[in-house]
């Protein structure tokens, strides 16, 4: 099998991923082998490759928005069969026994593992995954369109649920990449007014096409107070800007696994029961709920395609803000 492997994190200018030929994988008990057709490129992959996100193991194959077909099943697997099209997401394993798993919060599992961080991911021709962490995909999405749903879409959906937003409410989106592209479609389906802040004029135009009531830059104030906001940019100053824009009782959900810092801000921005809440990982329930909803709406993704061998280029373009929508590797 072919794989783009991270042996040592470094700046994208140094092309930290290397193409390697590896022995074909074999499934263990409870696992399946997936023949990868496409894998989305996520900012988390970028943060792992550049070292902003500490490595859990090296070498490792990044990638956690995987679309492919099952080619082999391990002992004890009954719910998957060869030829079935599935998606693989960020959550790769959870213990099922800790207090977080017992309360439906496996995203916080004390011994959770994650695809492309703890286990080899989808920047490869094949990958191995726990069968119960794979998901049948709706027929309405081809392989390339489905890939961005499996992280950006799912974590965006979880962020939206965390805000407690209700139909007709005013929602702010700070950053407008792959995840926010999915979120705005769900929010508009729920009849929310959506206000988008992003530095890219091209992304502002995309947001307007998708139904945004207002677009502006990060330092501009939306024309009406927001009931809730989600920040996608990994920049703490953007969190403060979102907090300034929410109304009394509003909540800002931080959709980021890594943030540069949160700068000091006056308590008055938090007073009157405003709140900040981070969004960490996803649950399998999130994935199933979002895939059903995405098919119902239907959510449309916008992709820039790169062959597997150009994974470094895709990540470099993402780092420079030169990706419109989502980057997807074709395998």
The per-residue pLDDT for 321 is 87
With contact defined as beta carbons under 8 Å apart, do 317 and 323 qualify? yes
**Are 235 and 249 part of one and the same domain?**
yes
Q: What percent of the chain has pLDDT over 90?
A: 96
Please report, for residues 6, 34, 44, 211, 331, the alpha-carbon distance to residue 310 in angstroms, rounded to integers and kept in the order given.
14, 21, 17, 33, 11
pTM: 0.94
**Are 110 and 185 part of one and the same domain?**
no
How far is the C-alpha of 249 from the C-alpha of 312, rounded, in Å? 43
**Are 110 and 157 part of one and the same domain?**
no
**Are 82 and 160 part of one and the same domain?**
no
Contacts of 12-20 spanning 24+ positions with Cβ under 8 A: 12/46, 12/49, 12/50, 12/312, 12/315, 12/316, 12/319, 13/316, 15/312, 16/49, 16/50, 16/312, 17/49, 17/62, 17/123, 17/311, 17/312, 17/315, 19/308, 19/309
Whichever domain contains 122, its CATH number is 3.90.180.10
The per-residue pLDDT for 99 is 97
The per-residue pLDDT for 325 is 82
Strand-pairing partners, residue 259, are none
Whichever domain contains 164, its CATH number is 3.40.50.720
Domain boundary, last residue among 234, 259, 278 = 278
* Residue that the structure tokens 């502006």 belong to: 216
The per-residue pLDDT for 275 is 97
The per-residue pLDDT for 158 is 98
Q: Model confidence over 184-235: pLDDT tens digits?
A: 999 999 999 999 999 999 999 999 999 999 999 999 999 999 999 999 999 9
How far is the C-alpha of 281 from the C-alpha of 31, rounded, in Å? 21
pLDDT for 324 beyond 90: no
Query: What is the average per-residue pLDDT within 28-34?
Result: 98
Domain boundary, last residue among 278, 302, 319 = 278
Q: Model confidence over 129-183: pLDDT tens digits?
A: 999 999 999 999 999 999 999 999 999 999 999 999 999 999 999 999 999 999 9
Q: What percent of the chain has pLDDT over 70?
A: 100
**Are 118 and 256 part of one and the same domain?**
no
**Are 143 and 6 part of one and the same domain?**
yes
By residue range, what is the domain housing residue 185?
153-278
15, HSE (Cβ side, Cα atoms, 13 Å):
8
Q: Model confidence over 44-78: pLDDT tens digits?
A: 999 999 999 999 999 999 999 999 999 999 999 99
Instruction: State the angle between helix axes of 178-189 and 284-296 in degrees (0 to 180), rounded to the nearest 10.
Output: 60
How does strand 170-174 pair with strand 134-136?
unpaired
How far is the C-alpha of 232 from the C-alpha of 179, rounded, in Å? 8
Query: What is the average per-residue pLDDT within 242-246?
Result: 98
**Are 205 and 274 part of one and the same domain?**
yes
| Confidence category of residue 5, pLDDT binned at 50, 70, 90 | very high
With contact defined as beta carbons under 8 Å apart, do 232 and 174 qualify? yes
Domain boundary, last residue among 260, 278, 296 = 278
**Are 141 and 287 part of one and the same domain?**
yes
The number of folded domains in the chain is: 2
The per-residue pLDDT for 121 is 98
Query: What is the average per-residue pLDDT within 274-288?
Result: 97
**Are 130 and 45 part of one and the same domain?**
yes
**Are 204 and 313 part of one and the same domain?**
no
**Are 72 and 143 part of one and the same domain?**
yes
Other CB atoms within 10 A of residue 14 CB: 11
Please give the structure tokens belonging to residue 50. Answer: 């550049």
Strand-pairing partners, residue 93, are 113
């Amino acid at each position: 099998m072919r794989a783009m492997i991270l042996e040592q994190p470094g700046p994208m200018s140094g092309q930290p991923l290397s193409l390697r030929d590896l022995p074909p994988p074999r499934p263990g008990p409870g696992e399946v082998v997936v023949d990868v057709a496409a894998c989305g490129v996520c900012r988390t992959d970028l943060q792992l490759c550049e070292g902003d996100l500490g490595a859990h193991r090296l070498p490792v194959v990044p990638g956690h928005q995987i679309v492919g077909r099952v080619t082999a099943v391990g002992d004890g697997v009954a719910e998957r069969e060869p030829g079935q099209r599935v998606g693989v997401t960020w959550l790769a394993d959870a213990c099922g026994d800790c207090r977080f798993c017992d309360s439906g919060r496996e995203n916080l599992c004390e011994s959770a593992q994650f695809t492309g961080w703890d286990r080899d991911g989808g920047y490869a021709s094949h990958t191995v995954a726990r069968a119960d962490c794979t998901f049948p995909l709706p027929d309405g999405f081809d392989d390339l369109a489905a890939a961005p749903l499996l992280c950006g879409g799912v974590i965006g959906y979880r962020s939206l649920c965390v805000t407690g937003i209700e139909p007709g409410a005013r929602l702010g989106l700070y950053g407008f990449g792959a995840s926010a592209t999915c979120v705005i479609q769900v929010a508009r389906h729920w009849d929310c007014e959506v206000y988008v802040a992003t530095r890219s004029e091209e992304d502002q135009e995309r947001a307007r096409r998708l139904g945004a009531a207002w677009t502006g830059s990060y330092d501009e104030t939306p024309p009406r107070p927001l009931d809730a906001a989600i920040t996608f940019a990994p920049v703490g100053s953007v969190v403060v800007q979102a907090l300034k824009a929410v109304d009394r009782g509003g909540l800002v959900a931080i959709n980021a696994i890594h943030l540069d810092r949160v700068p000091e801000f006056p308590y008055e921005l938090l007073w009157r029961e405003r709140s900040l809440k981070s969004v960490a990982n996803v649950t399998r329930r999130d994935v199933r709920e979002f895939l059903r909803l995405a098919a119902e709406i239907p959510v449309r993704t916008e992709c820039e395609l790169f062959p597997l061998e150009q994974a470094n280029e895709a990540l470099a373009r993402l780092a420079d803000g030169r990706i419109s929508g989502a980057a997807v590797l074709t395998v």
